[in-house]
Structure 1
C-alpha cells in the first residue's frame, strides 16, 4: 500500500520499515494437507483483507503476501514499485468441512471495489488491483459463477480478474496480522483511505 499524507502524518498500508525478508515461497495448490484447503485473493491492501476472513469460523489462518508476478522472493519495496508484476494478496487457509470456497468468495467480493481498474481505494497501481487466483478447476468454476452473479447484481462493469494460481510469497513478518499488532495505525489507515465508505457505496450497509 502506497504511503500518503493526511495532515502532518505520513501513513500507508505499510510504514517505511526496514528489513524483514519474506518467508519462503508457497505453491498456489489450493490444498494444505488433510482437512485443509487454501484460497488466494487480491483485494488491495492486504492488511485490510485479513480481518474479514479471520472472523469466519473454519478459517485457520490468513497470510499476507505477493503473487502473480515475475520476481522471485520479492520484498515489499519491490512490489510497491509496481515493477515486479506481483499483486498484494492474502492466502486463506481453511477447513472445507466448516466453510466453503463459495462462502470465502462472498466475503472477498463484499470487501473490495470490483469496479476499480486502477487499484483499490486510495492505493493505485497494478499491484493493488483485485483478482481471484484459482488453483483447481473447481475453484475456477466457483469463481466464474460468483463473478457472473456479482456482475448481474451490480449492473456495472466488474474488472476483477480470475487468474491461475501462481507461487505465493509470504510478506515480511511486520505485515502479518498488522491489524492486531497495530490497531490504532490500522484503523487510521483504513478510515483515511475511505475503504468502508466506498464499500458501503458499492454494496450497501454491512449486515
Structure 2
C-alpha cells in the first residue's frame, strides 16, 4: 500500500546526464554501455546550428554538429568525475582532427556540459590530466556548453549490440583500440568492464 496521497514509499533512483563526443558514436556508446552505473546511452548529434541534422548532413562536415553520446547515469553509482576519467582514457584527447581513422569536424572530441557543476568538474579534470604528464601532447578536447542534443537515426542506436560482426570489424580496422592502447598503455579503457 502506498504512503500519503497514494504515493509509494519506494525511493526513485537519481539520474543525471553526461554528453561526450569522442569520434565514432558507435564506439563511445558501446564503451559506456559497459560502465557500472550507466543506465542508458543514446547516439546523436550536438554542437551545430543545423536543426534536425541527419547522419548525411553531419558526416558531410558543414553542420557544425559532432557525433556524440548522451549518457544517463546514476550518480549514486558512478560520479560525473569518474565518467570523465573513463572518457579521457577511451579517446585521444590530443587529436584535434578527429579520432583514429575517422577524420573531420564531426569526429572531433568535446565534453558538452549541462550545468555549472559539470563545467567546473570537467575543467578540473582536464587541468589535472594536462598537468599529469601522462600525455606528451596538449589536451585539445574543448569543454562546451550543451546545446540541443538530437538522437541519431534508429539504425545507429545500439549498433555494436545489433551488428556485432560489422562493429568489431569497423573498430579493429579503424585502429581505435590500438590507438587508445598506444596512447594510454595500461590505463587504456580503465573503468570499462569489457576491456
Q: Same fold (TM over 0.5)?
A: yes
The reply to whether residue 158 of structure 1 matches residue 157 of structure 2 is no
Provide the aligned length of Structure 1 versus Structure 2.
175
The whole-number CA distance in structure 1 between the counterparts of 2:90 and 2:66 is 16
Task: Give the counterpart of 2:100 among 121, 127, 152.
Answer: 121
Q: Which residue of 2 aligns with 1:111?
A: 90
Q: Which residue of 2 aligns with 1:21?
A: none
How far the C-alpha of 1:180 sits from its partner, in A, is 0.2
The whole-number CA distance in structure 2 between the counterparts of 1:193 and 1:42 is 17
Residue deviations 1:122-163, cap 9 Å, x none? 011111100000111110111011111211232421110100
Question: What SS does the aligned partner of 1:145 have?
Answer: helix
The whole-number CA distance in structure 2 between the counterparts of 1:161 and 1:148 is 12
Residue deviations 1:52-75, cap 9 Å, x none? 211122111000000000111100
How far the C-alpha of 1:48 sits from its partner, in A, is 0.3
Q: Which residue of 2 aligns with 1:145?
A: 124
Task: Give the counterpart of 2:166 among 177, 185, 196.
Answer: 185
Q: CA RMSD in A?
A: 1.3
- Structure 1 stretches of 4+ with a deviation exceeding 3 A read none
Query: What TM-score comes out, normalization by structure 1 length?
Result: 0.82
How far the C-alpha of 1:116 sits from its partner, in A, is 0.7
Query: Rg larger in 1 or in 2?
Result: 2
Q: Which residue of 1 aligns with 2:75?
A: 96
